[in-house]
Structure 1
Amino acid sequence: MEKNNNEKLESMDTFKKLITALDAKLDSIDSRLKQQQGRKGIVKYYRNEDLKRAFGLSSNTIVKYRLTGVLPFTKLGDIFLYEASKIDKILRDNEC
């Protein structure tokens, strides 16, 4: 019976060590994620499909807004990118 109890205690100790190591790893990942979220250098962009989905715009409307200067954009190859912070500013500036 004592051998069985010792095995249980060893198993519990092993389990506690694994949980402690896992908890430390999760804390490390969590702190790295928080650091990345706090960086100001990360810029988020919308693509055409994002604008269509998020705002219900058609392809023609997006093209018209680009050509008339309503939508500031960056072109990377054949892909049009719209900086999220600039789109947010346009929305704030046009609130009624």
Structure 2
Amino acid sequence: MAIEILTKEDLNQFHKSLLEDIKEILKGKNQQAKKWLKSTEVRKLFNISPGTLQNLRINGTLTYTKIGGIMYYDNDTIDKLLNGNKIHAQPTLFK
């Protein structure tokens, strides 16, 4: 059994990483509570470029509503899209 020594720097890095993960989770909950999302919110959610979002609109993958030049995306539609494209991983055996 190997012994690992943790330094203060390791703990600080873990702390920062944990805080960032918690912030992302809280951001996600706030976005999911909204009925309609703007393009910038959808791009941040999927981490995609404006061109990729445009391609999703053009090919009909993601529906939207346009009001006065601003595009809105239904959060329920986004959830259905994500759940409909879910891929189930094959279990792996560890030796």
TM-score interval for Structure 1 and Structure 2 normalised by the shorter chain: 0.5 to 0.7
Higher helix share: 1
In structure 1, the partner of 2:47 is 56
Aligned partner letter, 1:90: L
Give the secondary structure class of the aligned counterpart of 1:72. coil
Across the aligned residues of Structure 1 and Structure 2, the Cα RMSD in angstroms comes to 1.6
Tell me whether 1:77 sits opposite 2:68 in the alignment: yes
Amino acid in structure 2 at the alignment position of 1:76: I
**1:53, CA displacement in angstroms?**
1.0
Task: Provide the rounded CA distance (Å) in 1 between the counterparts of 2:60 and 2:41.
Answer: 19
TM-score by length of structure 2 reads 0.55
Q: Which 5+ residue runs of structure 2 have no aligned equivalent?
A: 1-33, 88-95
Deviation at 1:54, TM superposition (A): 1.1
Compute the displacement of 1:57 (Å). 1.1
Larger Cα Rg: Structure 1 or Structure 2?
1
SS at match of 1:85: helix
**Within the alignment, does 1:88 sit opposite 2:79 as a pair?**
yes
Alignment gaps of 5+ in structure 1:
1-42
User: Where do 4+ consecutive residues of structure 1 move more than 2 Å?
Assistant: none
Between the aligned residues of both structures, percent identity stands at: 31
Shift of 1:82: 0.4
Distance 1:95 1:47 in 2: 24
Q: Which amino acid aligns with 1:94?
A: N
TM (normalized to structure 1)?
A: 0.54
Q: State the partner residue of 1:21.
A: none
